[in-house]
Chains A and B, each alone.
Chain A
Amino acid sequence: MARRAIVREPVRPDQPRTGGGGNAVRLAVIEMPSVMQDPTHTQMPHDPLVTLEDVSFARGSRVIFDGVNIEIPRGKITAILGPSGGGKTTLLRLIGGQLEPASGKVTVFGRNVQGLNTAELFAMRRRIGMLFQSGALLTDLDVFENVAFPLREHTHLPESMIRTIVLMKLEVVGLRNARRLYPRELSGGMARRVALARAIALDPLMVLYDEPFAGQDPISMGILVRLIKQLNRALNLTSVIVSHDVIETASIADQMYLIADGKVVESGPPATMKSSATPAVVQFMQGLPDGPMPFHFPGADYLTDLIDGASP
């Protein structure tokens, strides 16, 4: 931890009180400039933060995306819906530059992701927070150190300041007093909230949520829904939620996309989606077992299969 020592500890204000108080506010101001000076912030507010133009992606012979166009507007919550295994996580990885599309263009913060070198890519990712489905907390660090991790890796802040920021972020997700627990001692919902605190530790421009509601009990689901909504407003974030939980997602999203069979089937605000007459949208929004997305795995006909004893 020699790096931290490089920074001289500033004249330390009064011992940070629990919760942050005035000290915390000042820190938030100190942290903001990097975001404020960001050129993309001065652009037109209607200009999308992320665009996917005609993106195709295949894993082996399986086509996951086939000419997908998506625009993520700034400051809004955009939900991307689709059945499980439909490559929604892949979409987030394309935005984060962890995967490259076979064709098409992914633009993030006004720059083509494929054109970035490793250093630029990592710099871009620092301005994106990502919440993984499993939380993806580092198992050998406790809650406090997990939230402090991005700060320790990317900044040279003194220990007292890191402590204040971490406690602020943990306060937001309501887990300030769980800071000495290890990930294995947390419930799934708590782990996800810690991961959320970590995702916003560096005050990102955008947060990507990968299935934030999957496998949660109704209470933690409610907590997460509220948190995402609040954070988006309070921190002026742009949020992208990838999910298959229609009701929860629809309750907070400003804009929704439905992806099926590698294509965008329909997009629009939740109200439009609910009243859509497109069969695939109706099926998905209402959770019907059969429809354009078939209940049966595609293959031979049932009757032929039964009669034809040779097929294994």
Chain B
Amino acid sequence: MMDFLATIGRRSLATFERLGRGTLFLLQVCARLGFLFSRPSLTLVQVWAVGVQSLVIIGVSGAFVGMVLGLQGYNTLVTFGTEESLGVVVAKSLCRELGPVLTALLFAGRAGSALTAEIGLMKATEQIPALEMMGVDPLRRLIVPRYVAGIISMPLLATIFTAIGILGGYFCGVGLLGVDEGAFWSQMQLHTALGTDIGNGVVVKSIVFGAVVTWIALFEGFDAVPTSEGVSQATTRTVVNSSLAVLALDFVLTGLMFD
């Protein structure tokens, strides 16, 4: 029993310690954000690696999620004779929740894990100590461009995901199931607000998710035990922790935004 309590205590202490170090890491990164402006090309390369390379998975997932929404939404709505509202269902659910959340989860799996593995391997192969010994601050040179690229890429990806998803829902609902095209768009337009649904939902949420997922990914990589085993564990932790963080944060943000 005492052992059990001791285990809990040890675990929570370790968790708090990591949280503290993670926060410190974030503060150090933020203090160096100015570096971004002296070397914008470094960030461009990272937007390529983090954003452009994730485009395909985001686009394909968006299309399928939208199509499923169209199909399921139609089946439910048609029982109440309100299938004209399909556009509203698709647009609202994508803009407010599915777009930003699913993009963030996919982003964590695709880009987050890659970032952790990259930084972790650089540490394991002594590249990070080598940078330090060359008098180059690895936080500035490696972490800042990647962090900024994550924050830039995430809202762009979420917007693309949402737009493709709505087109997918349109294709399924209007193209395949015969919902009236005019009703689909006009109902959607009537009930979707630019500020709340698109501004808060797609843009603000995805910026927050991007900042959190990239932070976790970079911290795990930078903090990884510099062995192949340590890097693989860190990569797993990135995906698990950032997915949990996204879902929990989504709840909080939803509560704050759409009361």
**Genuine A/B complex:** yes
Task: State the majority secondary structure of interface residues on B.
Answer: helix
7 smallest A-B Cβ distances: which pairs?
Answer: A136-B130, A136-B126, A125-B135, A126-B135, A122-B135, A130-B133, A132-B126
Chain B positions within 8 Å of A1 at CB level: 39, 41
Q: 0/1 per residue, A133-152, Cβ < 8 Å to B?
A: 11011110000000001100
In the complex, whether A153 has a CB less than 8 A from a CB of chain B is yes
The total number of A-B Cβ pairs within 8 Å is 63
Min distance, Cβ A127 to any Cβ of chain B, angstroms: 9
Bound complex: CA of A281 vs CA of B110, how far in Å? 54
In the complex, whether A177 has a CB less than 8 A from a CB of chain B is no
In the complex, whether A128 has a CB less than 8 A from a CB of chain B is yes
In the complex, whether A262 has a CB less than 8 A from a CB of chain B is no
B40 touches A2 (CB 8 A): yes
135-158 of chain B: CB within 8 A of chain A: 135-137, 141
Chain B positions within 8 Å of A139 at CB level: 121-122, 125, 127
Bound complex: CA of A126 vs CA of B134, how far in Å? 6
Chain A positions within 8 Å of B121 at CB level: 139
In the complex, whether B22 has a CB less than 8 A from a CB of chain A is no
Bound complex: CA of A137 vs CA of B134, how far in Å? 12
Q: Which residue of B lies closest to A128 (CB)?
A: B133
Q: Which of B39, B40, B134, B141 contacts A125 (CB 8 A)?
A: B134
A153 touches B134 (CB 8 A): yes
Known: A2-B38, A136-B125. 15 other contacts (CB 8 A): A1-B39, A2-B39, A2-B41, A3-B39, A96-B133, A98-B129, A98-B133, A123-B135, A125-B133, A133-B126, A138-B130, A139-B121, A150-B134, A198-B134, A208-B133
6 pairs, CB–CB < 8 Å, chain A vs chain B = A93-B129, A96-B133, A122-B136, A122-B137, A136-B130, A138-B130
Chain A positions within 8 Å of B137 at CB level: 118, 122
In the complex, whether A46 has a CB less than 8 A from a CB of chain B is no
Bound complex: CA of A128 vs CA of B129, how far in Å? 13
Q: Which residue of A lies closest to B134 (CB)?
A: A150
Known: A2-B38, A153-B141. A98 touches B126 (CB 8 A): no
B125 touches A149 (CB 8 A): no
Chain A positions within 8 Å of B141 at CB level: 153
In the complex, whether B132 has a CB less than 8 A from a CB of chain A is yes
Known: A2-B39, A2-B40, A3-B39. A136 touches B135 (CB 8 A): no
Residue among B130, B137, B141 facing the most chain A CB atoms (10 A cut-off) = B130
B132 touches A98 (CB 8 A): yes
Q: 0/1 per residue, B226-249, Cβ < 8 Å to A?
A: 000000000000000000000000
Chain B positions within 8 Å of A153 at CB level: 134-136, 141
Q: Which residue of A lies closest to B133 (CB)?
A: A130
Chain B positions within 8 Å of A208 at CB level: 133
Bound complex: CA of A198 vs CA of B135, how far in Å? 13
A134 touches B125 (CB 8 A): yes
In the complex, whether A296 has a CB less than 8 A from a CB of chain B is no
A149 touches B134 (CB 8 A): yes
Bound complex: CA of A125 vs CA of B130, how far in Å? 11
Bound complex: CA of A150 vs CA of B136, how far in Å? 8
Known: A125-B135, A130-B133. A138 touches B41 (CB 8 A): no
93-131 of chain B: CB within 8 A of chain A: 121-122, 125-127, 129-130
Chain B positions within 8 Å of A123 at CB level: 135
Chain B positions within 8 Å of A136 at CB level: 125-127, 129-130
Bound complex: CA of A122 vs CA of B140, how far in Å? 13
Min distance, Cβ B114 to any Cβ of chain A, angstroms: 13
Min distance, Cβ B11 to any Cβ of chain A, angstroms: 20
Min distance, Cβ A135 to any Cβ of chain B, angstroms: 8
Min distance, Cβ A43 to any Cβ of chain B, angstroms: 23
In the complex, whether A62 has a CB less than 8 A from a CB of chain B is no
Q: Which of A2, A3, A96, A134 contacts B126 (CB 8 A)?
A: A134
Bound complex: CA of A195 vs CA of B122, how far in Å? 15
Min distance, Cβ B40 to any Cβ of chain A, angstroms: 7
